[in-house]
Amino acid sequence: MKVNEILKSVHVAYEQAADAPALNDEDGQIRLNLLQKAVRRWSTDNVTKWNELFSVGDIGPIQPGQREYDLPEGYSLSSGFYLQGSSEPLYVKSPSQLTGEDGKFVTILGNPQIGHKLRLGWIPKSSDQEIDKTIIVKYYREPFIPTKLDDVLEMSDPNFAIAYVTAELFVNDDANLYTKYNSDAMILLANMRQRNELAPDGQFSGLEGDIGIGGDW
């Protein structure tokens, strides 16, 4: 569902009218900000890692003498780094575990504000078999934050965002309607959590736990 459709639905619920304010209006900006807040609330749910936010990316290729490489844009957490052509994950050391000794391991540096880099535990040499190979990373990423009317939300049920934004608009206007729409939003979020655990064939996937460094999906 596109942002313009979501904001129209919010306006119908809040104002009982279809002519939603433009994004360059103050009311339009308030609603867009609340929609972005809804996306962040969904993406940072402390119960679920959303299937929509799992991804796979390539790092590199590895070059002689180069130890640091950019991780994919939006990278948040990893569940494994693999040299191209290998099914064995590279061992991951935290920065606090580094001792100055080289080895076939990797370290994640940086943070969401400045970006993340992958540092190799060895200095690649031109004769190494890893040269010109990529490192494949399985990772959990940050959500896409909408800014334009034709942007599309990633969540499986955008009705959560509609209910969430509507509730936030009513928070200081009508306590009963705030409670109603907030309750609707939480029910829709719970339903998304349940569907998130379903495998494509409709059976529960059995995925357990949070994604983490060195873990499995």
pLDDT score at 142: 94
pLDDT score at 200: 58
pLDDT score at 86: 92
pLDDT score at 101: 87
pTM higher than the cut 0.85? no
CB 139, CB 80: distance < 8 Å:
no
Lookup: tokens for 24: 């360059």
Tens-level pLDDT at each residue, the chain (217 residues): 999 999 999 999 999 887 888 888 999 999 999 999 999 999 999 889 999 999 999 999 999 999 999 999 999 999 899 999 999 999 999 999 988 888 999 999 998 888 899 999 999 999 999 999 999 999 999 999 999 999 999 999 999 999 999 999 999 999 999 999 999 999 999 999 999 988 555 444 433 333 333 334 4
Q: How far apart are CA 28 and CA 22, in angstroms?
A: 5
Q: How far apart are CA 154 and CA 144, in angstroms?
A: 7
pLDDT score at 204: 42
Provide CB contacts within 8 A for 2, sequence distance 6+. Answer: 149, 150, 151, 152
Angle among Cα 142, 146, 151 to the nearest 5 degrees reads 120
- Amino acid letter for position 96: S
CB 135, CB 82: distance < 8 Å:
yes
pLDDT score at 211: 33
Q: How far apart are CA 81 and CA 96, in angstroms?
A: 19
pLDDT score at 122: 95
CB 68, CB 198: distance < 8 Å:
no
pLDDT score at 215: 37
User: With b meaning 16 or more CB within 10 Å and e meaning fewer, what string describes 166-177?
Assistant: bbbbbeeeeeeb
